[in-house]
Amino acid sequence: MNAGFSPPRWRRRLWLWLWRRRRNPPRTSLAPAPPGAAAAAGRGPWAPHAARGLRTEVEAAGPPLEPGDFVRLPVPIIQQLSHWDCGLACSKMVLRYLGQVDDNEFESALRELGLTRNIWTIDLAYLMRHFGVRHRFCTQTLGVDKGYKNQSFYRKHFDTEETRVNQLFAQAKACKVLVEKCTVSVQDIQEHLAQGHVAIVLVNSGVLHCDLCSSPVKYSCFAPSGHRCFCGTPDYQGHFIVLCGYSRATGCIFYNNPAYADRTCSTSISNFEGARTSYGTDEDILLVYLDS
């Protein structure tokens, strides 16, 4: 090449721009696609494949993160109506995220499945199956742990619920409800969320602590205003939440707590692990898939 060759000014600028772009790739944001883009594609805000248009969010400061280091999915927040229906509120969040249900269909499904005041994780798995949602229910106990009879949280309805719940487990395969006795790691959960999928998790609300809420909720004081709060110092208080993201940089998990109608909560991985592995949860987690 001729050492004295000088390309036109526009070409030198193009080379400089490409060189800078290679050294500093543009950052993107994990936020829902703009409403106009969804409308142009003929999709509603909670269409099953809407989350495929999400972009990975990274923090505004610091070095660029690798794909999958930060995920926050646009799962709608729905508040529970009473102290017992957190699992149903979580199910409605998930179904709306998938674009699968309206209120009338949801209420009809509850009546058909006979879901009233005592909701177990296996009930939520049957609810997902009812709507044709691909799911995987992972637990440490295929049925009811008889040791729970001595837990104050389970004691009142244990005798009447034991037979019903054990029958649901026994009939799960025939009803095409996928149940597995297995352990799910935090890494498994993060990989699940990174693909746009969500999960409903049973936790001990006495252990779970949100780092973002200025006034942490104690134990199971999750009832909305006007409802009786059953505070105390319980050994275990079951509560369902919806996982919707994580940040590897800060070591946190994002989740929707149906106790609230106006926020997404965040907690450390260590706190989350303590809450979901407490005795009484069976480490229940209902993995729900976007491509349902």
Q: Quote the mean pLDDT of the chain.
A: 78
- For the cut 80, the answer to whether the pLDDT of residue 187 exceeds it is yes
Segment 214-221 shows an average pLDDT of 46
Band of pLDDT at residue 214, cut at 50, 70 and 90: low
pLDDT at 160: 79
Segment 15-25 shows an average pLDDT of 53
User: Where do the structural domains in the chain lie, given as residue ranges?
Assistant: 71-219+234-288
Residues 6 or more apart whose Cβ sits within 8 Å of residue 231:
218, 219, 220, 221
CB atoms within 10 A of CB 232: 12
Segment 25-54 shows an average pLDDT of 37
Joined tokens for residue 212: 């973002």
Residue 137 or 235, more confident: 137
Segment 235-261 shows an average pLDDT of 95
Residue 15, burial from CB neighbour count under 10 angstroms (0-12, 13-18, 19+): exposed
Percent of the chain predicted with pLDDT > 70: 67
Return the top range by mean pLDDT from 52-66, 137-151, 179-193.
Answer: 179-193
pTM: 0.73
pLDDT at 14: 55
Among 43-57, 93-107, 154-168, the minimum mean pLDDT is found in 43-57
Tens digits of residue pLDDT in 252-272:
999 999 999 999 999 999 999
Are the C-beta atoms of residues 53 and 33 closer than 8 Å to each other? yes
Tens digits of residue pLDDT in 68-103:
799 999 999 999 998 889 999 999 999 999 997 788
- For the cut 80, the answer to whether the pLDDT of residue 232 exceeds it is no
Band of pLDDT at residue 171, cut at 50, 70 and 90: very high
- Calpha distance 69→66 (Å, rounded): 6
Closest listed residue to residue 270, CA positions, set 243, 252, 244: 252
pLDDT at 129: 97
- For the cut 80, the answer to whether the pLDDT of residue 224 exceeds it is no
Q: Token pair 């939440």 is at which residue?
A: 241
Band of pLDDT at residue 18, cut at 50, 70 and 90: low
Ramachandran category for residue 212: left, alpha or beta (phi over 0 → left; psi -120 to 50 → alpha): alpha
Closest listed residue to residue 200, CA positions, set 109, 108, 92: 92
Band of pLDDT at residue 15, cut at 50, 70 and 90: low
What class, spelled out in words, does domain 71-219+234-288 have in CATH?
alpha beta
Among 20-24, 115-119, 180-184, 204-208, the minimum mean pLDDT is found in 20-24
